[in-house]
Structure formats: C-alpha cells, structure tokens
Amino acid sequence: MRNHAGKRMRKRLLLIVTALLAPLLVLGIRLLLSHAADSFTTGALTFDPKHSPATSFLLGPFTVEWNPEQGGHLVVNHEHAPGQVVWSTLPGVAFASAGQGCEKVTESHGSFDIRDTRKHVCTEQTIDSIVQFPEKVVVSGTLTGRNGKEHVGYDFSLELCSPHQLAFHLSISDPRYNRVWLTYASEPDEHFFGFGEQFSHFDLKGKRVPIFVQEQGIGRGLQPITFLANLVAGAGGSWSTSYACVPHYITGKLRSAFLDNSEYAVFDLRKADRVQVHVFASRLSGRILQGESPAKLIEEYTSCIGRMRPLPDWILNGAIVGMQGGTEKVREVWRTLEEHDAPVAAFWLQDWVGPRKTSIGKQLWWNWEVDDKQYPGWLSLINELRASGIRVLTYVNPFLVDVAEKPGAKRNLFKEASDKYFLVRNSSGAPCLIPNTSFSAGMLDLTNPGACTWMKDVIRTQVIGAGASGWMADFGEALPYNARLNSGQSAASFHNEYPEAWARLNREVIDETGHGEDFVFFTRSGYRSSPRYTTLHWLGDQLVTWDGCDGMKTAVTGLLSSGLSGFSFNHSDVGGYTTFSKPLLKYQRGKELLMRWAELNAFTTIYRTHEGNQPEANVQFYTDEETLAHFARFAKVYRAWAFYRKQLVQEAGRTGLPVMRHLFIHYPDDPNTFALSYQQFLVGAELLVVPVLDSGRETVSAYFPRGRWVHVWTGEAYGDAGEGIHQTVAAPIGKPAVFYRDGSNVGPQFIEELRKLKILE
C-alpha cells in the first residue's frame, strides 16, 4: 500500500513539475528559434574609389562628409558644434540592409508576442553614387545576399528640414523586401535615454528595445506573478513592454534621432560600437536632431511631433480623488476631506457607468452613460461639488460591451456601433470581440470617419452633457494585428497609430465645445504624436508593490523616460492599481506603500488616487485617521507649490520640457547622473526630490549635483558648490527628502506657502 501511495505521490509531483516547467521549456525553445531573427544583421560596404572620392556636402548648417578611408563611411557635423559628430556610419560596414520576412503574432488581452522568420536577407552593400540635389544628399546602390543570388536596389537620403534637423530616408526598390535595417555608429560609453515610456531602465545602452504599443504586463519579470499571468492569460509582459513606447532617443553625447514609421520597429543597442534600427517595412524614415543641450533637443523633437498644451489651473490646485461606490460614498468621503481641510480639485468617479464583477475584481460596464442605480441624484451631486469649487471626472474608452443584460441601460452602444459597421472587424467581416478579463468587447474603428463622428457625439452628449469636466480616456493599445479596418490600411501598420487617433478624437470633442482649454482627459497608451493631442498622460496599471519590475519604482522611471519624448504632463495612481488576493498570489496595498506613494505623487504634475481593481483588499487614503491625515497633508504640500507647477506647465507648452525631469536634462556634463533611474528627480530646475521607495526605510542616499541644496523641512544645506556629492539624508514618513536650489526664488515661496497651510512652523 505504501509503495503504491509513493508511486502515486511521485506521479503527482512529476505532473506538477511538468506543468510548471513546460511553459519555461516552450519559452526556451522559442527563444532559441528566434535567436537568428533577434541577432544583428551585418555586412560589408564596398564602392569604387574612382567614382566615390572624398566629398563634402553642405546642407544648411550641416556638413555631410563621405570619407573613403578605412572602408568608407558617412559623417554628419553641425556648424554650432565643432568637433562633435552628430551622426555617422561605421567604416567599412554596410549601413543599409534589407530582407523578406514573415512574422507570427500571438495576442492575448492586449499583450503581443512577435516572432519573425526571415529569408532573402541582403546584407552586403555597394555604393554606386553619391549625389547632391538642392537641400538633399542621395546615396544609391545595390544590396546583395551573402550567397550572391539576391539583389535589390536602395536609396538613402539626408535632407535639410530646419537649421537643427536632418531627415533621413532609406527605401528599397522592391516592395517584396518588407524588412529594412539602418546601422550607424555609437560609442562604448554612450548612454541612451528616452524611447517613450520605459519602466525598467532609464539608460538603455546594451538593450534591444522593441517599439510596439501594448499592455505593460502584470509583473513584467517579477515572480511568481509574471509566470502565472503568462500561464493563465499570456499577460505577464517583460522589461520592455510599454503602453507608450516611442521610436525616439537622446544620448549622453547629445545625439538624438527619431523614426517617422509606425510599423513594428526595434532599436538594437547591444553592440558597444553601433545602433541598428530594424523596421517591418520596405522604407525607413526619420530625423536626426542637433542641439547643444538635452533641453534644446527636447525642444527640437517636440517642435516636430507636437507639444502638450497647458493644463487648466483648476486641476493643478488640489487632489484628484479617485472614488467608487456611488453617491452616498462620495458624500461621506467628501465630508471627511472637508474636516481635514484637504485641497480637492475633482472627484474622479470611474464607476459612473455602473460596476460589474469580473475575475480580477471590480470593473465597469463599457456603455458610456450614467448608471442611475449607482449614482442616484447624479446632477445634484455634480452641482453641489461644483458650488464648492470641485469638478467631476468620469471614464471612457474605445471599447463597447453588449448591455442587453444590464438592468436600466438606456442605450446599447455596442449594438448601435455594430449595426453601423463602426467596429473593428475580423477576417470574416464580423466584429472583433476582444477578450478583456471575464468578458469581451468590440473596439471602435478609428479609421472610419463615421465611427469617429458617432463616438464624439456620444462623449459630447453623454459625458460632457452629464456634467463631467473631463475623463480618463483609457486603453488604445489592443488593436488586433490582423484586423480589418475601414480605411484599408493594415492593422499591423495602424496599431501604433491607434492611441494617437484615440487621443485626437478626444481632443476634437473638447475643442469643438469651444471651451477645450477647460476640459482634461488623461490617456495611458500613446505613440510618437500623442503629446500633440492628449491633455494629460498617466502611467497605467502598476502593481501595488515596491519592486522595480512592476511596482512603485517603475512609476518614477516611466515618468522620467517619457518626459524626454514629449509626455510633459504625466503621473501615476497613488498606491498603484493591480491587486491580487489569491492564497498563493497575494499582492495587496499596505499602509506604508500608500503613504510613501502619496509623498511621491505630491511632487508630480497631478496628485490622483485610485482604489485599485480590488478596493476592499487595499488600504485606501480614507481607511483610517492616519491615512486620511497623511493624504490631506500631502494634498496641501501639492497645493503649496502650485505657483511653480503652473509656471512649468506654461513652459512645457512653449518648449516641450517635462514637469518632472531626470537630472541629465540640467546636468548633462555630470556623468554621475547617467546611473540614476528611479532614485531621484528634479521638479523643473529648482526642486530636487529623493523619494523613499523601499519598505521600512527612513533615510535615503541622495546625489546632489553641483551647487548647494536646502532641505525643505529642516533648512539645512546639502551638496558641494563645486561638484556633485552623495549624502545620506533622513526621510521619515511625512517628511520626505525634498530640497530647493540655494538662491532659487522658488524655494522661499514654497516654504512660505507651506507655512500658510500650516505644514511648516
């Protein structure tokens, strides 16, 4: 009996181990199979020296030099930066390559896995001619496969766009070659920053950075949650997955470039001496930027893609209180906030459309109208809050669900859109029903002008018409890769553009009211031109944890990286969002995390709470007297620097500079700043914040760039006037390490405002 029981136990253990290891084995095999596709594409550069002698071309203030020495290479310089190479190719190395490929895409809940199979890759490059036209230099020639059998022509051009911008364009003559690579020089000690919203690393040198908008993932490498999220829904993500990745960077050598392409792209920075850009297309276009500082490069970049317009003053004056639960719950919390004299700008009522229970907790009925059962007396509540100077924000996204079974629904927007052919469709012509958690939804086809007009009318009449001053414009990253669109454009190439189109639709709604400057909508997904349209950005759904994979630390890295790519106004949920309450998978928001996150967000553009997907499992700011008092205290701290925040918001509208800034922006000559990611940041140029990002800590290690910095709470001076220095600083709960630059006008005014609000003696 014991022998049989032992066999059964061993069999069960074997099955359990197999179940756990099988996904890892499959992943390993997939990684091995995709290794060739992920590797660098390299070849030799050849030319006839008689037909390609050393030549120099002038394009405005730019000089493009062809140097045939050491195998031949192109070098771009600018008259304002003598001695600095703005851009160059590698001597003797092919800078253009092309191939034919076929990708396999696996989709799940807005997460995408893209694997590429290549054939007929032409890596050997021959230059036949280098010719200057007005404002343009064109290099033409042939790309050849290593077996010598495949040949295809190419053109590579550099064209003057402005005194500080050169456009580049690489095109392949045969459209069957749907993969193109551009390879150019880097330096071993060059640091790469930007690429939109990057959560795991600020410096991406040595990384392979894919540019494809999608869900950031659950866990993003934190175990066991990533493994389990992948096992159940393929939604664990990785270090590089992002809602708002952008094909743009700035380096520590003050080099900068971006792509105009919207197709899937990869920036491969793994080799010390080069950058290789890979695009799923037969042409690759973008711009090379020149600037004398990071701030100037941000200004040049945002002059191309568009800048976020200044926010209205009302949203900058107090907290945005994220609430669910209905009319009476809002009134109850409002009373407690009044008792603590907390500055409140708005209540954000996500569940205004009515809650529904799903596998991850509480979600919403995606049918954009007030749920009278959840919010009886809605207009009375709106008017009472407005009379006290408090606005109401709601929630909208580009999905629609069938509400045939929802009691009290006045309209079925899903049915209306489906009947009008306004939804994204699958290969058979039926609406794509995209899985979310326990339900599926149809997605608006934003290439259909009729669908856009219809949706704008829904927002105008049912959201703005319901008294809202703004809304969360959620989602935008889940367009299926092989969907059918009304415009005929491939969904693969429109996928990254979808969040731009979603932001544009929302912008058009508020602009068409004639009072667009008074409304605010905030988006989480974005691409290159999203800052042109969105009024406000937020970081999406972090875990309610401290970690650097998907928790509080990633919020800081995401804020700082996105700020380099034009997302000037960005913020996170106070306390994070994603919560799990399973016996072996428990991630719930604790009091300390909530309080430290409130301290962090009091120094970002927006101070906004979120109850999370499982409100009852999380500590909330109103859970007890201690959390409520702490929240109110930092709402006042946030209010105390509103005067400076409004200055920075106006500056962002003129220059594209973010409110929260990595130290690199103002101290590019200090190499110590390159190693910083989430540890600290600047607010504008005058405030330095070193948040506590680990449980149980009451001190921080701060890096003070050159100059003297005055501690807000103690008045003690830190730093060294001549050079940067690391120092340990006390940071108990309630008094985070915040400093102002000695000699700044902002610091004394901030202190005075804190005293008026009775935060400082």
Residue type, 192: F
Q: Pairing relation of β-strands 681-683 and 725-730?
A: unpaired
Contact 682, 670 (CB under 8 A): no
> How confident is residue 37, by pLDDT bands cut at 50, 70 and 90?
low
Q: Is residue 1 predicted with pLDDT exceeding 80?
A: no
Query: Going by C-beta distance under 8 Å and a sequence separation of 6 or more, which residues neighbour residue 203?
Result: 191, 192, 193, 674, 675, 677
Lateral strand order in the sheet of 717-718: 660-661, 681-683, 687-690, 737-741, 709-711, 717-718
**Active site members:** 474, 477, 541
Calculate the CA dihedral of residues 744, 749, 750, 754 and round it to 10 degrees.
150
Beta carbons within 10 angstroms of residue 567's beta carbon: 29
Q: Which helix (H) or strand (E) holds 452?
A: helix 449-462
> How confident is residue 438, by pLDDT bands cut at 50, 70 and 90?
confident
50 versus 512: the higher-pLDDT residue is: 512
Question: What average pLDDT score do residues 487-497 get?
Answer: 98
Q: Which helix (H) or strand (E) holds 295?
A: helix 294-305
Contact 61, 80 (CB under 8 A): yes
Average pLDDT, the chain: 94
Distance CA 42, CA 271 (A): 12
Q: Convert the pLDDT of each residue in 265-306 to its tens digit.
A: 999 999 999 999 999 999 999 999 999 999 999 999 999 999
Q: Is residue 4 predicted with pLDDT exceeding 80?
A: no
Distance CA 100, CA 96 (A): 14
What are the helix and strand counts (H, E) for the chain?
16, 40
Beta carbons within 10 angstroms of residue 430's beta carbon: 12
Burial track 159-176 (b if 16+ CB lie within 10 A, e otherwise): bbeeebbbbbbbbbebee
The pLDDT, as a whole number, for residue 611 is 96
Please provide the size of the chain in residues. 761
Beta carbons within 10 angstroms of residue 98's beta carbon: 29
Q: Convert the pLDDT of each residue in 557-575 to its tens digit.
A: 999 999 999 999 999 999 9
Q: Is residue 243 predicted with pLDDT exceeding 50?
A: yes
The pLDDT, as a whole number, for residue 304 is 98
Name the pTM for this structure: 0.94
Burial track 311-330 (b if 16+ CB lie within 10 A, e otherwise): bbebbbbbbbbbbbbbeebb
> How confident is residue 437, by pLDDT bands cut at 50, 70 and 90?
confident
Question: What average pLDDT score do residues 9-19 get?
Answer: 38
